[in-house]
Amino acid sequence: MKCPFCSSDNTRVIDSRPADDNSSIRRRRLCDACKKRFTTYEKVETIPLIVIKKDNNREQFDRSKIEAGILRACHKRPISVNAINKLVDDIETEIFNMEEKEIPSTVIGEIVMDKLKDLEAVAYVRFASVYREFKDINTFMDELKKILDK
């Protein structure tokens, strides 16, 4: 997206949210060249997000899949539904802010793990063990150690 002030291509999204009419997304952007901020509106239907799976198949981004994975990881942990909802919101915002049309599922997994790590250690390790399909116990212990060292 070109900056309307200086025409630089070097702009990035600093905030995305649904516009009042709910059929478009309002984005605040920052130009890295001249540091000015501007707002754009984009129609929701023009930005479907496609997830590239490990087998290279494509599917439409589905928030409920992320939610289900996190719920499973947080099973019987002291984490409120509100905290989980907020986590999924944060993850979704981060994904959409990347402004990619296609995102590898591995990138989404890393984002989820990053956020979970800050929320709850046990849930994080559970999610990571499924997501990264730990090849051996050493990899798993490395992950655990990283958490315990913090």
CA distance 18 to 122: 33
Q: How many CA atoms lie within 13 A of 49 on its CB side?
A: 18
Q: With CB under 5 A, what is the number of residues at the site for Zn ion?
A: 7
- What's the closest the beta carbon of residue 26 comes to Zn ion, in angstroms? 19
Specify the stretch interacting with Zn ion by CB under 5 A; choose among 23-31, 38-46, 107-115, 132-140. 23-31
Residue closer to Zn ion (CB basis): 33 or 98: 33
- Number of residues written out for the chain: 150
Which of left, alpha, beta for 37 (phi over 0: left; psi -120 to 50: alpha)?
beta
Q: Does residue 14 touch Zn ion according to CB under 5 A?
A: no
Whether the CB-CB separation of 29 and 39 falls below 8 Å is answered with yes
Identify residues 32-61 at the interface with Zn ion (CB under 5 A): 33-34
Q: Does residue 5 touch Zn ion according to CB under 5 A?
A: yes
Chain residues in the site for Zn ion (CB under 5 A): 3, 5-6, 8, 31, 33-34
